[in-house]
Amino acid sequence: MDHLAILPVVLPLFAGAALALIDDRHHNVKLAVNVAATLLLVAVSLLLLADVQNGPARISTYQLGNWPVPYGIVLVLDPLSAMMVALTSVLALGAIIFSAARWHRAGQHFNSLFQLLLMGLNGAFLTGDLFNLFVFFEVLLAASYGLALHGSGKSRVKASLHYVAVNLASSSLFLIGATAIYGVAGTLNMADIAMRAPLLSPGDQTLLQAGAAILGVAFLVKAGIWPLGMWLPTTYAAAAPPVAAMFAILSKLGVYVILRLTSLLFGEGSGAEVHLGAAVLQYGGLATIVFGTIGVLASQGVARIACFSVMVSSGTLLAMVGYDDAGVTAGALYYLVSSTLGLACLFLLVELMERGRSPGDDVLAVTLEAYGDDDDEAEQTPEAGSATPGTFAALGIAFVCCAILVAGMPPLSGFLGKFLMIGAMLDTGTAQGEAVSAGVWVTVAILIVSGLAATIALMRSGINTFWVSLERVIPAIHGVEIAPIILFLALALGMTVYAQPIMSFMGTAADALYTHGGYVDAVLADRATGAGR
């Protein structure tokens, strides 16, 4: 596959480094470089996706520095990692276009940090080495600390303080887990660990599982599982909108790593006797959905609704990963892409909707329902762009689409994602002639109720924003701010229309995960013949 696979890591690294050298006064130059680098990244990730789809091998590897596999670090490109890299780059493109209106000027080194965040994300998706994963995690976390603080202000600094502390502690857990696994298995290469795990003595198996469990906690913190995800709503709500849109994929990274490691170490055919943590993922995921749903209903303001929706989405994915079934996972992957697009879109919309509203309005809006309506809003000066009634209508339509997407209502892809997951879950039991278990019904019920709650909460804020206050200031909006929202919604629409080919791709991605030998063989293929290509 040549050197294409390393580009998603190297390109943002060089772009980020170059951007750090340009003086902050030339912010238009920096923005242009950033957009150009992100566009290139989108092109590269689409090439990788085409490579995986049409190439001779589903899974290909890239040896860094051409060091032979068990000793050197290896990047692994399989359908899942290619898809995640593509999703990251598309989200980044939207976020950076949105920030062109004003956010890229709100603080120092926004552009460099943004590119370094992309480097960390892409590296974490591509790497096949446990410690290298830690390094990429730290790269993206360091960049995300900077970005969470972007724009400064009391609420951001307060939220970041918690965010940094929680993530430093979870990084410690990551290190303990990774090195405990090294201490037992004697290797850091994920495929090598997966190959050696079944051969370990029972005592070492226990240590390996303990290490994997500690490692898992670090990723569950990132994914925002209940009760480890309390930092998530505050941090995401305080972050600048383009940053929050990028953060929508950070919680998916935790889910991705858990999916990758559990399928490798404890999945079907891995020789492991127990699927470690399957129950924890299922029950924890369901608890997260319930907690997120309550949060969505209790939230005042769309920003917090979006944050709790991130938790609901994470919880849904974790519960589905816990099922450890290729069909359910394929549906979950479809849902992952669609919900990430929807949530990123919602984070961007929030700022546009709340522009021209006084900060107390959200509290007011909820109390309005209880105590009746009396409009007395102060006039506000528009912050940027031009105000026309058309923009208000466009915002309203975008919000409705976004709400449909996030809540999982027909006809958009959010509904299809949920439908596919529920369908696959109901199939798992009945395929073997068993009745559908009560647990599955409970999961289905929780999934559907969480969608209903999101509908209610988003409809309430939509009515309060767009219908109730007639004398309100029409928000002034730049074209570049509505463009990424249209991009995300168009992608979601595309996912709905081309659901069949996309779903077959997700099917191959899930199969590649669960055909255990595939990943291990592809990575360790060069081992017998010595150094690779």
Partner 1 sequence: MEAVIAISIGVLAASGVWLVLRPRTFQVIIGLSLLSYAVNLFIFSMGRLRSNAAPVLDGAHDIGAYADPVPQALVLTAIVIGFAMTALFLVVLLAARGLTGTDHVDGQER
Pick the binder of partner 1 from 28, 53, 66, 152 (CB under 8 A).
152
- Give residue 78's identity as a one-letter amino acid code: D
| Residue 26 in the binding site for partner 1 (CB under 8 A) | no
Measured in degrees and rounded to the nearest 5, phi and psi for residue 444 equal: -60, -45
Q: Which of 36, 161, 384, 459 binds partner 1 (CB under 8 A)?
A: 161
Q: What one-character DSSP code corresponds to residue 472? A: P
User: Which range of residues in 117-125, 142-150, 190-198, 240-248 is near partner 1 by CB under 8 A?
Assistant: 142-150
- Considering only 154, 360, 371, 373, the residue that binds partner 1 (CB under 8 A) is 154
Options 60-68, 94-102, 176-184, 323-331: segment touching partner 1 (CB under 8 A): 176-184
Beta bridge partners of 189: 129
Distance between CA 347 and CA 308 in Å, rounded?
Answer: 12
CB of 108 to partner 1, least distance (A): 13
183 binds partner 1 (CB under 8 A): yes
Whole-number Å distance between alpha carbons of 87 and 122:
10
Applying the rule CB under 8 A, the residues between 42 and 101 that interact with partner 1 are none
Looking at residue 171, its amino acid is S
Least spacing, CB of residue 177 vs partner 1, in Å: 10
3-state SS assignment for residue 432: coil
Least distance (Å) between residue 441 CB and partner 1: 40
- Name the residue nearer to partner 1 (CB basis): 66 or 152: 152
- The span of 118-126, 137-145, 372-380, 440-448 binding partner 1 (CB under 8 A) equals 137-145
Q: Which of 11, 117, 149, 289 binds partner 1 (CB under 8 A)?
A: 149
In whole angstroms, what is the distance from residue 518 CA to residue 374 CA?
A: 64
Which residue in the set 46, 70, 182, 466 belongs to the binding site for partner 1 (CB under 8 A)?
A: 182
Q: Could you say whether residue 107 binds partner 1 (CB under 8 A)?
A: no
Is residue 367 part of the contact set for partner 1 (CB under 8 A)? no
Rounded Cα gap, residues 401 and 385, in angstroms: 23
| Residues in a beta bridge with 74 | 63
**Helix, coil or strand: residue 62:** strand
Number of residues located near partner 1, criterion CB under 8 A: 28
Q: What is the rounded distance in angstroms from the CA atom of residue 367 to the CA atom of residue 134?
A: 46
Q: How far apart are CA 430 and CA 432, in angstroms?
A: 5
Taking each helix axis from N to C end, the angle separating 110-126 and 241-266, rounded to the nearest 10 degrees, works out to: 10
- Asked if 105 interacts with partner 1 (CB under 8 A), we say no
Q: Which of 53, 158, 230, 363 binds partner 1 (CB under 8 A)?
A: 158
Site membership for partner 1, residue 142 (CB under 8 A): yes
Examine residue 230 and tell whether it contacts partner 1 (CB under 8 A): no
Select 175 or 278, whichever has its Cβ closest to partner 1. Answer: 175
Candidates 50-58, 101-109, 140-148, 487-495; binding stretch for partner 1 (CB under 8 A): 140-148
Cα(464)–Cα(377) distance, rounded to whole angstroms?
13
Q: Exposed, middle or buried: residue 488 (CB in 10 Å: 0-12, 13-18, 19+)?
A: buried
Tell me the sheet residues that pair with 62.
75
138 counts as binding partner 1 under rule CB under 8 A: yes
**Crossing angle of helices 438-462/302-323, nearest 10°?**
160
The alpha carbon of 477 is separated from its chain's Cα centroid by a whole number of angstroms, namely 27
Output the six-digit token pair for 528.
């017998």
- Which residue in 10, 47, 171, 521 binds partner 1 (CB under 8 A)? 171
Nearer to partner 1, 28 or 172 (CB): 172
Binding of residue 239 to partner 1 (CB under 8 A): no
Residues 186-205 that bind partner 1 (CB under 8 A): 188
Partners of 77 in the beta sheet?
Answer: 60
Q: Which is nearer to partner 1, 4 or 135 (CB)?
A: 135
Binding to partner 1 by residue 17, rule CB under 8 A? no
Question: Binding pattern to partner 1, positions 115-134, x when CB under 8 A?
Answer: ----------------x---
CA atoms of 55 and 325, how far apart (whole Å): 26
Query: Which residues are within 8 A (CB) of 423 and not within 5 positions of it... i.e. 6 or more apart?
Result: 331
Q: Is residue 401 within 8 Å of 489, Cβ to Cβ?
A: yes
209 part of the interface to partner 1, by CB under 8 A: no
Among 45, 160, 443, 496, binds partner 1 (CB under 8 A): 160
Q: Which amino acid is at 226?
A: W
The residue within the footprint of partner 1, chosen from 46, 106, 107, 179 (CB under 8 A), is 179
Token digits for 53?
């789809």
Binding site residues, partner 1, CB under 8 A:
131, 135, 138, 141-142, 145, 149, 152-154, 157-158, 160-162, 164-165, 168-169, 171-172, 175-176, 179-180, 182-183, 188
